[in-house]
């Protein structure tokens, strides 16, 4: 088919309508479908190409129109037809052209010529790069077994399934998942409730935003709009987190909890709700298991006990528990903040129990189990059907204990434990790590150890769009196309599916992430599992359940939106009987009821009831450390300008947040003679950072926080980058990586809390 046919042309000279003819409140004719009748000259024509935004993740991006003239990507406009964003897009989306044309783009495949870390490379061809990687993997497979390969997971993208497919074809279970994102909650929720519930914000009277930044994450028609609309219709919003961010500013009440103490707060809330009999006794009787044991168990978790731990007044904890239990319906909008603490599984289980015993589970306006959309699911490329017990037994450092593998996503090794195996050789050494779209020195804790492991690792492959923080340790660097330079894959979410469209021709010797795995699969001799190198076949096979080919899907410029299914509630008997992803397919809930008392965990040597565990360093856990390090430190995951460890090199975004900052209360700053903008040294028992003070009246005075992910400079603005280790801006250097204290025993969740001292640099 003619690729130009599905591009929409709007001549910039065309004046569609007298602007004055349209009234306020009425949307303007922003639709691109008014195809130009002018056969305008090339330089006057601006193409508006419908595709997805690629500036955040996980999940699919918002719908956009990429504006292109003379083959140059100029700017971005929101796609009104997209149900995800209805034409609205964020700052990151608008910055895409600067990202694509960044001077830090990797231009050609590279082979290391100097020592590891030295940064000396020679350019090679795409084919040579794949030959080098394939030769090394074949050699190591024979010498050390296929499990000597680990692939690090990026924030989930649609290519994540291809990483799994490659590992399975190769014979390794070692998919390196972060241990701090989404799966931690998913695990604890499914083994307590049978499924992970989502807040039904649009029907709720009370919304508890808990450990979440709902407005800078995800699509604009999702959480953000729901919360703003809920506020406007008079729903009450309570935010539970350590700083007053703009979403908290919209709230009716801010509960300024000390970082990492969510489990303590939730346990104390259970204490109040149970002792004051504020629970839904009918639901408890019919649909929960072990309530009586919990009632005894939480007696020690009084609000007075929780006060010094959480830093919240006992009276406030009581009020919060009563308000949540007596306002119907109420939902808890839970975030990744709950997944960075050694008590993570206990926090999430306690919150799950709160939802259940207050009668808010799977009822309108409560926390609901998604019923699924009306769209048939495209076929997965994962190859999950090939998992065996032997597979699980080979995991190098399971993210979830082996009896619970494979979990929802597949088998997974904790990202950090992969590097640890390189250092310790326990249980065996990983020999090759491939890092596609992920940066281990900025994405996981224990940066010193990660760097040592990168030095020691036999073979390290970076697959990325941009120069990465630890690229100098790579043996081979494979530059890939941005999602604006490829015409695949399709992406789907909810009821919407659309083909990606190429916005511009690739700016270098690039192929896509998808092509990388397919091509490497073929080189390895796994061609049968990789469509013998045919991307078209790969796409079409996945689309079969929808009775579509990629070409047919592409003929629909803004994709297909399927009618949504009507929501069903109170699906208890079905959801509570859900089979788990383990080999036995044993249900998540052996009693077919909410597992308040968890016999599955008990049988495997884990706590049957949620308990409180202190972070590795905290005011109540390690009071002796307070003399030297009197402030609690933690970090933010999400910001208005950046994702994780990337995008600092993009001028339009760097202008919004030009420097890494320490959020510090005015009183805490005053005591130290620190003023707004001063460079300050932040020192923990494990590391130090040098960043700028941002005096913030909306933070607990006993707590300081920073945004994680800083290392990049911004060449265009003349702004510097930062060292990965001591004296840099990398929050991951600050935390304990002691397995016994810093990681959740069940879900790995790595601590992002410590104690620090702050002084003027």
Partner 1 sequence: MSRQYGIYIRTDRCIQCHACEVACKSWNGIEPGIRWRRVADEWSGKFPEVANRTVSYSCMHCAKPACVGACPEKAISKRSEDGIVVVDVRKCKGCRTCAAACPFHIPEYGRTGTMQKCNLCLERLQQGRQPACVATCPGEALTFGFMDELAELSAAKSGEKLEAATDPSLYISGRLNGQAFLDLLNHSRQLKDASSL
DSSP 222: I
Cis peptide leading into 746, omega within 30 of 0?
Answer: no
Question: With contact defined as beta carbons under 8 Å apart, do 594 and 213 qualify?
Answer: no
Say how many Å lie between the first and final Cα of the chain, rounded: 62
Q: Between 668 and 752, whose beta carbon lies closer to partner 1? A: 668
Phi and psi at residue 408, to the nearest 5° = -50, -40
Q: Between 224 and 548, whose beta carbon lies closer to partner 1? A: 224
Q: How many helices (H) and strands (E) does the chain have?
A: 25, 31
Q: Between 20 and 563, whose beta carbon lies closer to partner 1? A: 20
How far apart, in Å, are the Cα atoms of 207 and each of 178, 197, 238, 366, 478?
29, 14, 6, 9, 45
| Minimum separation from the CB atom of position 658 to partner 1 (A) | 5
Q: Between 247 and 614, whose beta carbon lies closer to partner 1? A: 247
| Minimum separation from the CB atom of position 90 to partner 1 (A) | 5
Tokens of 417: 């434990």
Pairing of strands 175-177, 413-414: parallel
Long-range contacts (CB closer than 8 Å, 24 or more residues apart) made by 79-83: 79/50, 79/558, 80/27, 80/30, 80/31, 81/50, 81/558, 81/559, 81/561, 82/221, 82/496, 82/498, 82/558, 82/559, 83/221, 83/494, 83/495, 83/496, 83/561
Q: How far apart are CA 97 and CA 733, in angstroms?
A: 32
Tokens of 429: 């050494």
**In DSSP terms, which residues pair with 690 in a beta bridge?**
681
| Minimum separation from the CB atom of position 465 to partner 1 (A) | 20
| Minimum separation from the CB atom of position 255 to partner 1 (A) | 9
Of 73, 77, 74, 72, which Cα lies nearest the Cα of 90? 77
Question: With contact defined as beta carbons under 8 Å apart, do 296 and 174 qualify?
Answer: no
Q: Between 133 and 215, whose beta carbon lies closer to partner 1? A: 215
Binding site for partner 1 (CB under 8 A): 10, 12, 14-17, 19-20, 22-25, 27-30, 75-78, 85, 87-91, 93-95, 97, 215-216, 220, 224-225, 228, 231-232, 244, 246-247, 249-250, 254, 256, 640-641, 651-653, 655-656, 658, 665, 677, 697-701, 716-717
Local structure of 409: helix, strand or coil: coil
| Minimum separation from the CB atom of position 224 to partner 1 (A) | 6
| Minimum separation from the CB atom of position 732 to partner 1 (A) | 26
Q: Which residues 6+ apart lie within 8 Å of 327 measured at CB?
A: 205, 206, 236
Cis peptide leading into 329, omega within 30 of 0?
Answer: yes
DSSP collapsed to 3 states, 338-369: HHCCCCHHHHHHHHHHHHHHCCCECCCCCEEC
Q: Between 675 and 760, whose beta carbon lies closer to partner 1? A: 675
Q: Between 463 and 653, whose beta carbon lies closer to partner 1? A: 653
Q: How far apart are CA 695 and CA 308, in angstroms?
A: 25
| Minimum separation from the CB atom of position 24 to partner 1 (A) | 2
Phi and psi at residue 78, to the nearest 5° = -65, 150
| Minimum separation from the CB atom of position 80 to partner 1 (A) | 9
**In DSSP terms, which residues pair with 199 in a beta bridge?**
367
Question: With contact defined as beta carbons under 8 Å apart, do 485 and 100 qualify?
Answer: yes
Q: How far apart are CA 91 and CA 656, in angstroms?
A: 9
Q: Between 171 and 698, whose beta carbon lies closer to partner 1? A: 698
Maximum distance among all Cα pairs of the chain, rounded to whole angstroms? 79
| Minimum separation from the CB atom of position 663 to partner 1 (A) | 12
Q: Between 55 and 414, whose beta carbon lies closer to partner 1? A: 55
Question: With contact defined as beta carbons under 8 Å apart, do 682 and 718 qualify?
Answer: no
| Minimum separation from the CB atom of position 27 to partner 1 (A) | 8
Q: Between 95 and 522, whose beta carbon lies closer to partner 1? A: 95
Q: Between 224 and 269, whose beta carbon lies closer to partner 1? A: 224
| Minimum separation from the CB atom of position 405 to partner 1 (A) | 39
Q: Between 598 and 703, whose beta carbon lies closer to partner 1? A: 703
Q: Between 116 and 231, whose beta carbon lies closer to partner 1? A: 231
| Minimum separation from the CB atom of position 252 to partner 1 (A) | 11
Question: With contact defined as beta carbons under 8 Å apart, do 480 and 500 qualify?
Answer: no
Local structure of 699: helix, strand or coil: strand
| Minimum separation from the CB atom of position 169 to partner 1 (A) | 41
| Minimum separation from the CB atom of position 695 to partner 1 (A) | 10
Q: Between 76 and 589, whose beta carbon lies closer to partner 1? A: 76
């Amino acid at each position: 088919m003619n690729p130009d046919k599905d591009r929409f042309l709007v001549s910039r000279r065309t004046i569609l309508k007298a602007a004055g003819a349209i009234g306020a409140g009425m949307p303007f004719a922003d639709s691109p479908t008014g195809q130009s009748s002018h056969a305008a000259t090339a330089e006057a024509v601006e193409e508006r190409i419908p595709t997805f935004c690629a500036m955040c993740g996980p999940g699919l991006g918002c719908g956009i129109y990429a504006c292109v003239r003379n083959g140059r990507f100029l700017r971005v406009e929101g796609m009104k037809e997209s149900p995800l964003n209805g034409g609205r897009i964020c700052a990151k989306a608008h910055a895409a052209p600067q990202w694509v044309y960044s001077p830090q783009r990797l231009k050609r495949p590279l082979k290391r010529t100097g020592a590891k870390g030295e940064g000396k490379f020679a350019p090679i061809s795409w084919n040579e790069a794949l030959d080098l990687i394939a030769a090394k993997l074949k050699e190591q497979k024979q010498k050390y077994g296929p499990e000597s390969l680990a692939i690090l997971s990026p924030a989930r993208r649609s290519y994540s399934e291809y990483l799994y497919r490659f590992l399975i074809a190769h014979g390794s279970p070692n998919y390196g998942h972060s241990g701090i994102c989404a799966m931690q909650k998913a695990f604890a929720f499914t083994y307590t409730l049978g499924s992970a519930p989502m807040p039904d914000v649009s029907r709720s009277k009370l919304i508890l935003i808990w450990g979440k930044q709902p407005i800078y994450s995800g699509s604009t028609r999702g959480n953000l709009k729901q919360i703003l609309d809920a506020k406007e219709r008079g729903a009450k919003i309570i935010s539970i987190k350590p700083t007053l961010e703009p979403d908290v500013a919209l709230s009716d009440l801010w509960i300024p909890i000390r970082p990492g103490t969510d489990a303590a707060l939730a346990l104390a809330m259970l204490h109040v709700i149970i002792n004051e009999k504020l629970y839904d006794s009918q639901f408890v009787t019919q649909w929960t298991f072990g309530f009586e044991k919990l009632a005894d168990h939480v007696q020690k978790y009084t609000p007075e006990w929780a006060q010094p731990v959480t830093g919240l007044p006992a009276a406030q904890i009581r009020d919060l528990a009563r308000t949540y239990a007596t306002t119907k319906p109420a939902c808890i909008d839970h975030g990744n903040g709950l997944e960075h603490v050694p008590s993570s599984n206990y926090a999430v289980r306690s919150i799950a129990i709160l939802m259940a015993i207050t009668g808010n589970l799977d009822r309108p306006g409560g926390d609901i189990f998604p019923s699924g959309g009306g769209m048939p699911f495209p076929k997965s490329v994962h190859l999950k059907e090939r998992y065996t017990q032997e597979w699980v037994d080979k995991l190098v450092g399971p993210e979830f204990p082996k009896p619970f593998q494979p979990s929802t996503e597949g088998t997974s090794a904790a990202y950090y434990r992969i590097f640890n195996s390189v250092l310790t050789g326990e249980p065996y050494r990983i020999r090759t790590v491939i890092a596609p779209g992920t940066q281990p020195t900025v994405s996981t804790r224990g940066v010193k150890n990660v760097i040592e492991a990168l030095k020691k690792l036999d073979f390290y492959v970076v697959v990325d769009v941009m120069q990465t923080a630890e690229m100098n340790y790579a043996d081979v660097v494979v530059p890939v196309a941005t999602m604006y330079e490829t015409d695949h894959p399709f992406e789907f979410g909810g009821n919407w599916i659309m083909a990606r469209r190429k916005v511009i021709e690739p700016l270098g010797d690039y192929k896509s992430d998808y092509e990388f795995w397919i091509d490497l699969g073929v080189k390895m001799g796994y061609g049968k599992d990789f469509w013998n190198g045919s991307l078209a076949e790969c796409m079409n096979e996945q689309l079969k359940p929808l009775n579509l080919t990629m070409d047919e899907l592409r003929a629909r410029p803004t994709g297909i939106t399927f009618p949504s299914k009507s929501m069903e509630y109170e699906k208890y008997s079905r959801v509570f009987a859900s089979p788990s992803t383990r080999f036995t397919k044993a249900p998540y809930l052996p009693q077919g009821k909410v597992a308040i008392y968890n016999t599955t965990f008990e049988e495997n040597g884990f706590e049957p009831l949620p308990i409180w565990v202190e972070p590795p360093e905290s005011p109540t856990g390690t009071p002796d450390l307070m003399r030297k390090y009197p402030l609690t430190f933690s970090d933010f995951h999400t910001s208005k300008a950046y994702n994780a460890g990337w995008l600092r090199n993009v001028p339009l975004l760097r202008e919004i947040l030009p420097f890494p900052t320490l959020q510090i209360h005015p009183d805490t700053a005053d005591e130290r003679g620190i003023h707004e903008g001063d460079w300050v040294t932040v020192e923990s028992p494990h590391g130090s950072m040098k960043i700028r003070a941002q005096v913030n009246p909306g933070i607990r005075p006993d707590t300081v926080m920073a945004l994680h992910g800083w290392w990049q400079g911004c060449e265009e603005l003349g702004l510097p980058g930062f060292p990965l280790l001591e004296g840099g801006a990398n929050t991951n250097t600050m935390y304990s990586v002691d397995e016994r204290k810093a990681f959740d025993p069940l879900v790995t969740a790595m601590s992002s809390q410590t104690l620090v001292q702050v002084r003027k640099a």
